[in-house]
Amino acid sequence: MTSTRSAADLTVGDVLSGPARLMSRERMRWYCDALETTALGTGEFVIAEPTIHSDDDFAIANGLPGIIADGMISTNWISGMLLEQFGVGYVGGGELQTKFIRPIYEDEVIETRGEVRVVEGGERPVYVIDVWCETADGQKCTVGQARIPVPAG
């Protein structure tokens, strides 16, 4: 689910939203394995070594209370929301910045959001969109900004 307006018709204050998702232990591990598998890139599947994202003892030894999600999971959920709203204009001419300000712990429900802050004019108008992921009780975990060209109407 994104804004009900088309990508060319958004205005300041319009809100984007993605689905609520449970940050399960499995989702955290899937990313660890996908990271190692895609970095290797041979077509062979890799089971990742223990990390702070997959092994409680490893996470605790590194000063954390338990495993936390890799920030790229929530970044990808934001990226997916932007792709759904803006299509290839986002992939081929956009920009996404995210910062991980609070860990996401196992079994937290995470929602993805965006809000159009500015529509920059000029020869090539651009949407400036605040983006974030938050817990069910509204604590922001991943925050940032996207800049996406306004599609021709």
Partner 1 sequence: MPVGRYVSDLEEGDVLNPVTYEMTPFIAREYCHGVDEVAEVFHAPGTEISGAHLAPPTLIHIDKIRLLKANCPDGAGPDARIHYEYHAIHHAPVPVGERLVASGSVSRRYEKRGRAYVELEIQLRVESTNQLLTSYRDTSVLSFAAKETA
Q: Which residues bind partner 1 (CB under 8 A)?
A: 21, 27, 30-31, 33-35, 37-39, 41, 43, 45, 51-52, 58-59, 62-64, 70-73, 75-77, 79-80, 83-84, 87-88, 90-100, 144
Smallest separation (angstroms) from partner 1 to the CB of 88: 5
Among 127, 143, 123, smallest CA distance to 7 is for: 127
Residue placing its CB nearer to partner 1 in the complex, 41 or 138: 41
Is the distance from CB of 119 to CB of 10 less than 8 angstroms? yes
H-assigned helices in 11-128: 25-40, 56-61, 71-86, 88-93
Residue 70 to residue 46: CA distance in whole angstroms: 17
Residue placing its CB nearer to partner 1 in the complex, 5 or 19: 19
Residue 82 to residue 76: CA distance in whole angstroms: 10
Place of tokens 């394995």: 33
Smallest separation (angstroms) from partner 1 to the CB of 52: 5
Smallest separation (angstroms) from partner 1 to the CB of 47: 13
Is the distance from CB of 89 to CB of 7 less than 8 angstroms? yes
Smallest separation (angstroms) from partner 1 to the CB of 103: 9
Name the CA dihedral angle for 70, 128, 17, 132, rounded to a multiple of 10 degrees: 30
Smallest separation (angstroms) from partner 1 to the CB of 87: 4
Residue placing its CB nearer to partner 1 in the complex, 13 or 152: 152
Residue placing its CB nearer to partner 1 in the complex, 41 or 121: 41
